[in-house]
């Protein structure tokens, strides 16, 4: 065999190995870890029309329920506004002229879980907030903004500020126009991210700039350009304000031919599932033993808290549809689709596998609920979609933990 043939064979072998390795990498990164569709639930249905449905349901909301936000929800909204989505190139969620990123985000927190009232500043690099000033400043901001009551009523208020020089240094006076365009893009991101979280917001531009700057302790070169109050949607009152909300009255539900009793029945099944899921995660965290136990316990506790939050969301929606959440835990066993699996082996591996199986069941349940209410009940649709995204993330997290444990020798 001549040298040319040997060289071609070696070269072909190297290319083939690279293609196979690349294929395995792409499978692990994009298919197994991020989409995990090996259990045949319909992920196309999950992603189908999500953006168009969200855009359709975006509204300016000026009436909020007296309920706290949690830190995760606040950070999710701030990430949508200015979070870094490409760490390699330092690119953010909203477009910016020349990637100059002139905007700084503050948030006045008044009613939030795990966050004391005060003024906080968002850090895009860490996707976290730092307290600038203690104390509830919502009333003060309301007074600074011509006494627009929804600012005081909101659980928190985002304040978008601009450092014009970052953009004008590159684009001269035209830079100011680009900054204002960027504010609009950021605000719309917040609007859209708020929809699946069942959070209302509105774009506020009428306020005393200097007074707002003083209230939030912003730097002199930081120009406040808009306020965005945030609060849980008040379903009972929302049809009375001028927001044009996506909440649907009983008459509207009848017009779209939605079987409300069927929806309530299915939501109650999911309600029972969520309570079982909460306890299964919670008890698993208590008894788990074996490799990577601290990481496993931390993940199980986090998931337990999120399942409890899901139960609250589902119960609230059942009540909004004039139904009643299951009152007796004994009935959970009768209606639950996923049931409760008592841990028989306290090793972390079987406990993780039990919870993965439960998540796979929950994903199917919520996927079926999506199909039931699609194009008929947008409030339930968005709530279910939000929960479903959490459940898919839960399964992926647990699968990754199992894989990490398998690598320990």
Assessment of whether the complete model's pTM goes beyond 0.75: no
Looking at 216, 240, 264, which one is the last position of a domain?
240
Looking at 240, 265, 285, which one is the last position of a domain?
240
In this structure, the answer to whether residues 234 and 305 fall within a common structural domain is: no
In this structure, the answer to whether residues 161 and 267 fall within a common structural domain is: no
In this structure, the answer to whether residues 167 and 206 fall within a common structural domain is: yes
pLDDT, position 258: 78
**What are the two backbone dihedrals, phi and then psi, of residue 315, each rounded to the nearest 5 degrees?**
-60, -40
Residue 127's SS3 state is coil
Looking at 222, 240, 258, which one is the last position of a domain?
240
pLDDT, position 4: 58
pLDDT, position 25: 41
In this structure, the answer to whether residues 258 and 324 fall within a common structural domain is: yes
User: Which domain range does residue 136 map to?
Assistant: 58-240
Whether 183 contacts 130, CB under 8 Å: no
In this structure, the answer to whether residues 396 and 356 fall within a common structural domain is: yes
In this structure, the answer to whether residues 383 and 279 fall within a common structural domain is: yes
Low pLDDT (below 50) residues in the chain: 11, 14-48, 236-249, 251-252, 254-255
Query: Quick count: other Cβ atoms within 10 Å of Cβ 407?
Result: 7
In this structure, the answer to whether residues 213 and 308 fall within a common structural domain is: no
Question: Is residue 378 one of the residues assigned to a domain?
Answer: yes
Output the domain CATH number for residue 229: 3.40.109.10
pLDDT, position 13: 52
pLDDT, position 233: 87
Among 380, 387, 383, 388, which residue's Cα sits nearest to residue 256? 380
Among 129, 156, 152, 131, which residue's Cα sits nearest to residue 141? 152
pLDDT, position 376: 81
Residue 36: which region, alpha, beta or left (left: phi > 0; alpha: psi -120 to 50)? left
In this structure, the answer to whether residues 198 and 266 fall within a common structural domain is: no
Domain count, the chain: 2
Residue 87: which region, alpha, beta or left (left: phi > 0; alpha: psi -120 to 50)? alpha
In this structure, the answer to whether residues 281 and 395 fall within a common structural domain is: yes
In this structure, the answer to whether residues 299 and 233 fall within a common structural domain is: no
């Amino acid at each position: 065999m001549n040298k040319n043939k040997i060289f071609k064979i070696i070269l072909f072998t190297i290319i083939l190995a690279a293609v196979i390795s690349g294929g395995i990498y792409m499978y692990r990164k994009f298919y197994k870890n991020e989409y995990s569709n090996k259990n045949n639930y319909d992920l196309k249905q999950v992603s189908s029309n999500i953006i168009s449905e969200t855009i359709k349901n975006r509204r300016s909301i000026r009436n909020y329920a007296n309920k706290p936000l949690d830190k995760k929800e606040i950070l999710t909204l701030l990430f949508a506004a200015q979070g870094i989505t490409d760490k390699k190139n330092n690119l953010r969620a909203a477009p910016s002229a020349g990637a100059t990123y002139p905007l700084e985000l503050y948030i006045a927190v008044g009613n939030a879980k795990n966050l004391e009232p005060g003024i906080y500043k968002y850090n895009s690099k860490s996707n976290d907030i730092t307290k600038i000033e203690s104390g509830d400043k919502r009333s003060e901001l309301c007074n600074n903004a011509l006494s627009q009551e929804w600012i005081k009523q909101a659980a928190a208020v985002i304040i978008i500020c601009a450092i014009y020089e970052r953009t004008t240094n590159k684009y001269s006076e035209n830079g100011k126009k680009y900054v204002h365009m960027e504010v609009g893009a950021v605000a719309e991101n917040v609007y859209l991210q708020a929809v699946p979280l069942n959070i209302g917001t509105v774009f506020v531009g009428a306020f005393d700039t200097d007074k707002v700057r003083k209230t939030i302790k912003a730097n002199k070169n930081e120009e406040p350009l808009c306020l965005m109050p945030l609060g849980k949607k008040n379903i009972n009152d929302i049809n009375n304000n001028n927001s044009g909300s996506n909440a649907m009255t009983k008459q509207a539900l009848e017009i779209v031919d939605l079987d409300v009793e069927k929806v309530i029945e299915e939501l109650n099944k999911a309600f029972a599932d969520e309570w079982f899921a909460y306890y299964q995660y919670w008890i698993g965290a208590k008894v788990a033993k074996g490799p990577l136990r601290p990481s496993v316990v931390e993940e199980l506790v986090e998931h337990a808290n999120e399942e409890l939050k899901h139960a609250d969301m589902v119960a609230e929606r059942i009540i909004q549809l004039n139904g009643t959440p299951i009152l007796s835990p004994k009935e959970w066993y009768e209606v639950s689709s996923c049931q409760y699996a008592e841990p028989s082996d306290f090793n972390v591996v079987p406990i993780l596998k039990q919870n993965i199986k439960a998540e796979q069941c929950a994903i199917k349940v919520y996927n079926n609920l999506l199909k039931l209410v699609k194009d008929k009940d947008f409030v339930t649709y968005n709530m279910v979609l939000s929960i479903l995204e959490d459940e898919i993330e839960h399964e992926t997290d647990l699968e990754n933990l199992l894989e990490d444990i398998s690598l320990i020798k």
